[in-house]
Amino acid sequence: AIDPKGEPSLVFIAAFQEVPLPFQNDPDLLASYKKAVEDLALDSRTGTTAYPHFFAFTFLITESGFRISGGDVSETIEIQTGSRYCEGEPVSFTQEFVLANSLAYRSAIDKNINFFNKDFISAQVKSFPADDDDCLPVQTIGFLLDLLPAESALESVQAYGENDKA
pTM of the prediction?
0.47
- Give the pLDDT confidence score for residue 166 in this predicted structure: 47
The tens digit of pLDDT for each residue in 123-160 reads: 778 888 777 776 767 777 766 766 677 777 777 777 77
Q: What is the pLDDT of residues 116-125, one digit of tens each?
A: 556 667 777 8
pLDDT of residue 120: 66
pLDDT digits (tens, 9 = 90+) for 31-47: 999 999 988 888 888 88
CA 35 to chain centre: 20
Label each residue of 53-64 as H, E or C: EEEECEEEEECC
Where does the chain show beta strands of DSSP type E?
A: 15-18, 53-56, 58-62, 65-70, 73-80, 89-91, 125-129, 156-160
Mean of per-residue pLDDT scores for the chain: 75
